Amino acid sequence: MVTALPRHEVSLWQRVAARTPRPLPDFADHGVTHPRLPRRRGFGRAVANLRYTHGPTWKVVRALKGMDTVGLCRDLAPFAAWPADPDSLPWGDQQLLARARGREPRPGAPKNWRAWDTSHHLATVVQAIASTGSPT
């Protein structure tokens, strides 16, 4: 299941920018999540999840029991803006796309999921700011 959550850092920046004379304030955020992976209690496996930057929202995909990131990438695919030429994609999107299309069967680990999400997020925000001046 894909859940859309608002990107509060974007709405805050937009409110500040609307009240600020030019030049616009710089945009910064904390990326896709806290910089450190949370400590897990016990020996269970982390629940696969992805947080995909999509305009003013996050598309959050969490695994059901027994599902891994390969399945999550398939669920995420309808929301992703993947061009016909995957070589032009940021590294993280290439990893997500390879799993969504069945080209990479390995699900990766939590540090991989965070790296893929972060790669996509940074590329999305930088491209948006470069083309529109806004982080969306």
**Cβ of 112: how many Cβ atoms within 10 Å?**
14
Per-chain mean pLDDT for the chain: 86
Tell me the per-residue pLDDT of 73-121, one tens digit each, with 9 for 90 and over: 999 998 887 877 888 899 999 999 999 999 988 888 888 988 999 999 9
pLDDT > 80? residue 40: no
Query: What is the helix (H) or strand (E) element at residue 108, kind and residue range?
Result: none
Contact 70, 47 (CB under 8 A): no
Tell me the per-residue pLDDT of 48-71, one tens digit each, with 9 for 90 and over: 889 999 999 999 998 877 678 888
Look at residue 27 in the predicted model and tell me its pLDDT.
85
**Band of pLDDT at residue 28, cut at 50, 70 and 90:** confident
Domain boundaries, the chain: 2-17+46-132
pTM (two decimals):
0.85
Look at residue 4 in the predicted model and tell me its pLDDT.
93
